[in-house]
Structure 1
Amino acid sequence: MKIIIASDSFKGSHTTFEVADAIEKGVRKVKENVKIIKVPVADGGEGTVDALVLGNEGSRYEEIEVAGPLGTKVTAKMGILKGNVGVIEMASASGLPLLKKDELNPLVTTTYGTGQMIKAALDLGCEKILIGIGGSATNDGGVGMAQALGVSFKDKYGKELGFGGGELAHLHDIDLTDIDERIRRTEIIIMSDVTNPLCGNNGASKVFGPQKGATEEVIEELDKNLNHYATVLREKLGKDVKNVVGAGAAGGLGAGIIAFCNGILHPGIEKILDVTDLNLHLEDADLVITGEGRIDYQSVYGKVPVGVGKRAEDKNVPVVAIVGSIGDGATEVYAYGVDAIFDIISKPMTLNEAMDSVSTLIEQTAENIMRLIGIVDVKAKNVTKNKNEKEALFYENGSA
């Protein structure tokens, strides 16, 4: 029996690798000698660099010091894959995990550090860069990122704009004279499951602003500023990004990468599954076990279980999802190759109790799944055996 384990991380608790290890332990309690292949996966957010570096032999990490969301220095980690392909998580430089709750303020947070990471990848000789843009703390339209690459954003007095989405209201002109020319020769792939436009009711500010600390008043200001930013981009550079699908990802960083780096948007999970060769691993597989921290109606929009499920379905391989919790609309994933969902919570417990016992709970769930599969296999074999015996008896009596 060959089993593929390809689960997302359980955010805030376990990495994709820790989840896979726990699943393997549970499986081997029932099927000790089963062949297991663990494929690290992510959707473009947290864990993307780890999934691609550790999932591809010959890859390595690089650490660089960059400006964090508030401009203070942080150490960011990036990956270099075979063929000198750079892998960046914008959250490593400009993400929510870098800030305390009382520090959240999209009026002042910047993507400058993400631009520094791109520049570092260029310095390392990368001519292709994969950028996962989940988990941002920013709403600056990617202006900070572009400033780090040499683009100048000026107000009507010719003064350079400061950091943050609040500064976009003063944008008057954009100067590309000093942009790093290497960016024009570099293939930039944006990995994101977000399809939101830059502005409006479904835009970056209104949909994602609240989780970044924005009040209703601030959200309106940020949306107005991004709309102005889009207008200046169109008038000064001929770049119309306002309604581009995915332009609103990461507080408009999607728009910035498209406008200044000729970035191409890809669903994060699809690109990661390509790079980790999931299709190849699925050959001759008997079962796929996937999962994520919470599965609900949003999971059909580029999340790991659905990405894995669709590929497994193409190969006629059944898929089981192990999840931390099941939310509204979770059954929608059944239309995308996921055959069953198992919640790890086995009894009433607090969130803290569940978080403290995630490995054990995942392991127990995987064990129970394998025991259920074993029962079904035995039943199926018994049915076949009885059927064959009845047919043999029929022909024996008939021939007599």
Structure 2
Amino acid sequence: MKIIVAPDSFKGSISSTEAAAAIHRGLLAGSSNLDITSIPMADGGEGTVEALTMILEGRLIKKEVTDPLGRRVNASYGWVESSKTAIVETAAASGLPLLTKEELHPLSATTYGTGELLEDALDRGAETIILGLGGSATVDAGTGCFQALGATFHNAKGERLDMNGRELGNVASINTNQLHNRVQNVHWIIASDVTNPLLGEEGAVSVFGPQKGVQQEQQEAFESNMTHYADVLEAHLGQKLRDKEGSGAAGGFGFTLYGLLPHSTVQSGFQLIAQWSHLHERIKGADLVLTGEGKLDEQSLYGKVPVGIARIAKTYNVPCVAFAGTIEGDVSGSKQEGLLTVLPIVDAPMSLEEAMERGDMLLQRAATRFMEIRKLDTNNTLGEVTP
């Protein structure tokens, strides 16, 4: 029996690579007559570096950088020597996983550390840079990143600003003359599955601000700062970009990338990994597909990894099942997308914290239970398997 194991990360618990390994172990504990191919997935956010680096047979480069609040932390990016390709994700240096809920401070948070990772990749001789947008703890529109790469942002007095969410409202001019000399010589691929515009009810502040710590009473001020910055950058560029699809990604990072890297290629993070891992071809020849993520809810139906996997499987009439740490709301619509069922991995009463600490073991046991149940599937709706 050929099985494709293609999970997303179980955020806050285990990476997509760890999730795939746990499912793999669990399946083999339930049946030995299996041909399993593991393909860790991501959508441009947390896990993108690990997944793509493994697929492209690269290695991880570790570097001490600045976290969202200005502290020094170790972060990694992927490096593929044969093609001089770097894979960087905003979550690694500027992401929510680096902060506790109490530490979220979007006024002070900066993407400077992401710029430091990119600078290291440029100095290493990168010819292609894949930059995954997602999971950031920032609403500085990526200005901190470009500051690390040599751009300068000035207030009305001409004073240089250290960029963060607060300073967006003080930017009066932008100087890109001192940008890293290789920035424009690199093929940039922006990996993101976010299609939101920069401003408005579907924009960076309104939709993604709360998860980064923007309180309801602060939203108007943050939106005003973002609008002011958009006015300044668009005047600097001589073109309007605020309504471009994806400009609201990663706290407005997409907007600045579109403006200062006009020749970059924008691609769905999920589709990028699917393409380079030959996911369609592998699923087409499989008997069963297993996927999963930490929380599966109604938002998952709008294109998160498990549903993206299920849609591909449905195309080839291959059954697809998802594991989830938590199932929230009505996810019955997932059946129409190709998910036969969604299975929770928690198998006993426990707190969320305990479940996240034990994610690896819980997922492995859930996979074993699935295989045991599969042996009872006399209608063969989930692919053939011999006990």
TM over 0.5: yes
Which residue pairs with 1:171 in the alignment?
171
Runs of at least 5 residues in structure 2 that lack an aligned partner in the other structure: 382-387
Judge which range, 246-255 or 188-197, deviates more.
188-197
1:120 is aligned with what amino acid?
D
Which residue pairs with 2:46 in the alignment?
46
Change (3 A) 1:260 1:369: same
Aligned to 2:333, what secondary structure does the other structure show?
helix
How many pairs were matched up? 379
Deviations 1:290-321 (A, max 9, x none): 01111111112331101211222222221111
Runs of at least 5 residues in structure 1 that lack an aligned partner in the other structure: 381-400
Deviations 1:204-252 (A, max 9, x none): 1122222222223332111101111111122221232211111111111
In the TM superposition, 1:114-125 aligns within 5 A as: 114-125=114-125
Distance in 2 (CA, whole Å) between partners of 1:365 and 1:65 is 37
Which residue pairs with 1:66 in the alignment?
65
Are the equivalent residues in 1 in contact too, given 2:144–2:163 (CA < 8 A)? yes
Give aligned-pair identity as a percent. 43
Which residue pairs with 1:76 in the alignment?
75
Which residue pairs with 2:225 in the alignment?
225
Deviations 1:7-37 (A, max 9, x none): 1121111222322222223322332121111
Distance in 1 (CA, whole Å) between partners of 2:207 and 2:219 is 9
Which residue pairs with 2:154 in the alignment?
154
Aligned to 1:75, what secondary structure does the other structure show?
strand
Which residue pairs with 1:250 in the alignment?
250
Which residue pairs with 1:293 in the alignment?
294
Judge which range, 263-272 or 124-133, deviates more.
263-272
Aligned to 1:339, what secondary structure does the other structure show?
strand
Which residue pairs with 1:104 in the alignment?
104
Which residue pairs with 2:129 in the alignment?
129
Alignment pair present for 1:323 and 2:321: no
Distance in 1 (CA, whole Å) between partners of 2:242 and 2:60 is 35
Deviation, 1:282, is 2.2
Are the equivalent residues in 2 in contact too, given 1:193–1:301 (CA < 8 A)? no
Deviations 1:75-107 (A, max 9, x none): 220001341211001121111222343432111
Which residue pairs with 2:191 in the alignment?
191
Distance in 1 (CA, whole Å) between partners of 2:349 and 2:379 is 32
Which residue pairs with 1:90 in the alignment?
90
Distance in 2 (CA, whole Å) between partners of 1:90 and 1:346 is 34
Distance in 2 (CA, whole Å) between partners of 1:370 and 1:111 is 44
Are the equivalent residues in 2 in contact too, given 1:292–1:322 (CA < 8 A)? yes
Deviations 1:341-392 (A, max 9, x none): 1112334433244334433432332233223333234779xxxxxxxxxxxx
Which residue pairs with 2:384 in the alignment?
none
Which residue pairs with 1:390 in the alignment?
none
Decide which structure has the larger Cα Rg and report it.
1
Deviation, 1:161, is 1.8
Distance in 2 (CA, whole Å) between partners of 1:378 and 1:29 is 23
Are the equivalent residues in 2 in contact too, given 1:7–1:19 (CA < 8 A)? yes
Change (3 A) 1:30 1:64: closer
Structure 2-normalised TM-score?
0.91
Which residue pairs with 2:369 in the alignment?
368
1:130 is aligned with what amino acid?
I
Change (3 A) 1:61 1:363: closer
Aligned to 2:73, what secondary structure does the other structure show?
strand
Which residue pairs with 1:314 in the alignment?
315
Are the equivalent residues in 2 in contact too, given 1:133–1:191 (CA < 8 A)? yes
Return the structure number with greater helix share.
1
Distance in 2 (CA, whole Å) between partners of 1:22 and 1:240 is 47
Deviations 1:119-151 (A, max 9, x none): 221112212111112111111111111212222
Deviation, 1:157, is 1.3
Are the equivalent residues in 2 in contact too, given 1:43–1:302 (CA < 8 A)? no
Deviation, 1:272, is 1.6
